[in-house]
């Protein structure tokens, strides 16, 4: 029996089922031959044939008969072989189709189901049970800081991290739901429940805890965490498309509120989303109609109190909403690729304004991290300087630490090219991101701008004062200028002066104002006014 099994499995590479099918086919063939033979005997066809061959011996019918029999046997053998081959081909095709089906529905890196699978599974579950009192929660999970880790430690570590997180999610859900990788560092979960929404919230809490535990990959212990958005079916929507969109909105709120948490979708979140869509549409028009204008905030020499230059800060003069601040529209411009035209619009306007100001004054323009990926960035800046006749030595660009973790090599090249043109480069909001001594040393910078969060609390919290002192010491030893952002009082001003900080900026020294006000001020600051 055992030997027969082996035979079954190995015979011409056919499976046991296929082999059984083959035997069936052969049995049918055999029955057909036996029936034909019986009918031939029954109707005395053979006697008739022999009589005929005897009567017409010269026709050599018996030889013809032998030949026909031989041909029949050959044909039979050929049919058997053909049947076997066909079966094998069908099986291989089925296997290929199965693996294509599998691949099309799974993520190659983590082995988890993919977006397509999730959609199919949702429809299947909906058809089976949503009507029968069961409900379903849709989770959208986005890993926090993943991009930074990927950029700093490389894609190999990033991939391992995704695999580890996928495993944790799978372990947390078990057989109660379906985890899928939606793409990048985003995962989606379908979770069915019938005991009230509490268990769905408990699961969200569990996922948050699980994902915030440190992961060890490639000898590194990394802490990521995740932001989770939740939407319920029925309630928030009937289609997975709608539910995922709402979970996405909730997830973004979770990210904004407090990284490493979760939020359940609420209708007012949708209103915010609608507002964002409106702003996005208006922003396109605003750039075209030049409604975004530069305001200027003085950068002051702390020892003499004289203005050295201005930081250029964008303001949107919205026809209905009034003045819209950068915190609202810069992220939209960054997400939608409008940041480049916006920057060039502001720079062109600022160069045109500042061209006629005293030669000693410079302007400092903010660049967004994504702009460093534009290979034409330096050429475009140069083109604007040439067109407006503004000397490069009077321009400073501010880059944030987030630009550095993207692609250090590219940033280094851009910084090098800008400095070759005579443009100065400042590192903005220093101390809040991922950069450190390595970046300060590697990049050929001119200035470090100490983030205002340290300056604001330096008098009340000794720890912040120590950080400010350390950054000042560090920049001095590297030959960099230091600018303190966010000086809001005379006490902070005096303390920074004592610590040897050269340049300052803040409401105490001057608010960001339009070009006309700058000109009216005669480029001097009025501290008495700000103290009052």
Question: Which parts of this chain interact with ligand C2E (CB under 6 A)?
Answer: 297, 313-314, 325-327, 330, 339, 343, 346, 366-368, 398, 428-429, 452, 485-488, 505-507, 512
Structure token digits, residue 266: 């609420």
Cα distances (angstroms) measured from residue 230 to each of 112, 496, 517? 20, 47, 49
Report if residue 366 touches Mg ion, rule: CB under 5 A.
yes
How far, in Å, CA of 523 to CA of 292, rounded? 23
Q: Which is nearer to ligand C2E, 193 or 310 (CB)?
A: 310
Give yes or no for a contact between 99 and 107, defined as CB atoms under 8 angstroms apart. no
Q: What share of the chain is helix, strand, coil (3-state, %, to 5)?
A: 60, 20, 25
- Check residue 429 for interaction with Mg ion (CB under 5 A): yes
- Contact of residue 488 among Mg ion, ligand C2E, none (CB under 5-8 Å per partner type): ligand C2E
- Taking CB under 5 A as the criterion, the residue among 398, 505, 510, 523 binding Mg ion is 398
Cβ distance to Mg ion smaller for residue 208 or 366: 366
Taken in order 493, 494, 495, 498, the sign of the CA dihedral is positive
Position among 18, 185, 353, 428 found at the interface with Mg ion (CB under 5 A): 428
Binding partner selected for residue 208 from Mg ion, ligand C2E, none, CB under the kind-specific 5 to 8 Å limit: none
Q: Which is nearer to Mg ion, 265 or 454 (CB)?
A: 454
Choices 8-16, 101-109, 393-401, 460-468; region in contact with Mg ion by CB under 5 A: 393-401
Which of 410, 414, 331 shows the shortest CA–CA distance to 380? 414
Tell me whether residue 4 or residue 327 sits nearer to ligand C2E (CB atom): 327
Q: Rank residues 136 and 292 by Cβ distance to ligand C2E and give the closer one.
A: 292
Among 101-109, 361-369, 432-440, 501-509, the segment contacting Mg ion (CB under 5 A):
361-369
In angstroms, the CA 313 to CA 296 distance is 6
Find the part of the chain contacting Mg ion (CB under 5 A) among 65-73, 199-207, 392-400, 455-463: 392-400
Q: Does 343 bind Mg ion (CB under 5 A)?
A: no
3-state secondary structure string, 240-267? Answer: HHHHHHHHHHHHHHHHHHCCCCEEECCH
* Shortest Cβ 470–ligand C2E spacing (Å): 20
The C-alpha atoms of residue 140 and residue 45 are separated, in whole angstroms, by 78
Q: Residue 378 binds which one of Mg ion, ligand C2E, none, with CB within 5 to 8 A depending on kind?
A: none
Taking alpha carbons only, the member of 243, 241, 246 closest to residue 233 is: 243
Q: Which is nearer to ligand C2E, 309 or 486 (CB)?
A: 486
Residue (128 or 325) nearer to ligand C2E, CB: 325
Q: According to CB under 5 A, which residues from 302 to 321 bind Mg ion?
A: none
Q: Check if the beta carbon of residue 254 is closer than 8 Å to that of residue 228.
A: yes
- In 7-46, which positions are buried (b, 16+ CB within 10 angstroms) versus exposed (e)? ebeeeeebeeebbeebeebeeeeeeeeeeeeeeeeeeeee
Q: Please give the residues from 482 up to 511 whose contact with Mg ion meets the rule CB under 5 A.
A: 485
> What are the Cα distances from residue 339, in Å, to 280, 332, 336?
12, 8, 8
Q: Is 396 in the site for Mg ion (CB under 5 A)?
A: no
Is residue 401 near Mg ion by the rule CB under 5 A?
no
Instruction: Quote the Cα angle for 304-514-313, to 5°.
Output: 80
Interacting partner of 236 out of Mg ion, ligand C2E, none (Cβ under 5 to 8 A depending on kind): none
Q: Closer CB to ligand C2E, residue 181 or residue 449?
A: 449
8 Å CB contact between 310 and 298: yes
Instruction: In angstroms, give the least distance from the CB of 432 to ligand C2E.
Output: 10
Q: Which does 346 bind (CB under 5 to 8 A by kind): Mg ion, ligand C2E, none?
A: ligand C2E
Q: Where does this chain bind Mg ion (CB under 5 A)?
A: 366, 398, 428-429, 485
């Amino acid at each position: 029996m055992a030997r027969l099994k082996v035979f079954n499995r190995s015979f011409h590479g056919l499976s046991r089922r296929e082999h059984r099918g083959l035997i069936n086919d052969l049995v049918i063939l055999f029955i057909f031959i036996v029936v034909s033979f019986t009918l031939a005997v029954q109707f005395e066809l053979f006697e008739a044939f022999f009589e005929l061959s005897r009567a017409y011996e010269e026709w050599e019918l018996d030889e013809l008969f032998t030949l026909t029999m031989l041909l029949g046997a050959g044909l039979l053998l050929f049919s058997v072989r053909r049947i076997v081959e066909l079966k094998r081909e069908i099986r291989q095709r089925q296997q290929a189709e199965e693996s294509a089906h599998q691949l099309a529905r799974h993520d190659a890196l983590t082995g988890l189901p993919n977006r397509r699978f999730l959609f199919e599974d949702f429809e299947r579950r909906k058809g089976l049970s949503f009507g029968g009192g069961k409900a379903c929660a849709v989770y959208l999970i986005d890993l926090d800081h993943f991009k930074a880790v990927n950029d700093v430690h490389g894609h190999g570590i990033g991939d391992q991290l995704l695999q580890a997180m996928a495993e944790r999610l799978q372990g947390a859900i078990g057989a109660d739901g379906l985890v899928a990788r939606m793409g990048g560092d985003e995962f989606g979960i379908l979770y069915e429940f019938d005991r009230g929404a509490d268990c769905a919230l408990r699961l969200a809490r569990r996922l948050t805890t699980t994902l915030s535990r440190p992961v060890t990959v490639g000898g590194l212990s990394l802490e990521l965490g995740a932001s989770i958005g939740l939407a319920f079916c029925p309630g928030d929507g009937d289609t997975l498309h709608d539910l995922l969109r709402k979970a996405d909105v909730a997830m973004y709120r979770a990210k904004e509120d407090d990284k490493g948490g979760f939020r359940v979708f609420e209708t007012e979140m949708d209103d915010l989303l609608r507002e964002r869509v409106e702003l996005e549409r208006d922003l396109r028009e605003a750039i075209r109609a030049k409604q975004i204008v530069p305001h200027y905030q003085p950068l002051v020499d702390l020892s003499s109190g004289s203005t050295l230059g201005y930081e250029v800060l964008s303001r949107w003069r919205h026809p209905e909403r009034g003045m819209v601040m950068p915190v609202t529209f810069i992220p939209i411009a960054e997400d939608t690729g409008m940041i480049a035209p916006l920057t060039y619009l502001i720079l062109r306007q600022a160069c045109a304004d500042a061209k006629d100001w005293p030669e000693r004054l410079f302007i400092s323009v903010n660049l967004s991290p994504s702009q460093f990926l534009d290979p034409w960035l330096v050429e475009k800046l140069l083109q604007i300087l040439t067109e407006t006749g503004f000397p490069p030595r009077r321009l400073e660009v501010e880059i944030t630490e987030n630009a550095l973790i993207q692609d250090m090599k590219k940033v280094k090249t851009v910084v090098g090219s800008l400095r070759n043109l005579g443009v100065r480069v400042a590192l903005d909001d220093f101390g809040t991101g991922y950069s450190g001594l390595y970046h300060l040393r590697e990049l050929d910078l001119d200035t470090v701008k100490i983030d205002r969060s340290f300056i604001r609390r330096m008098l009340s919290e000794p720890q912040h004062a120590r950080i400010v002192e350390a950054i000042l010491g560090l920049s001095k030893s590297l030959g960099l200028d230091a600018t303190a952002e966010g000086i809001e009082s005379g006490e902070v001003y005096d303390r920074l002066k004592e610590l040897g900080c050269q340049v300052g900026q803040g409401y105490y020294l001057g608010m960001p104002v339009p070009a006309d006000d700058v000109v009216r001020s005669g480029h001097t600051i009025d501290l008495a006014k700000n103290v009052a």
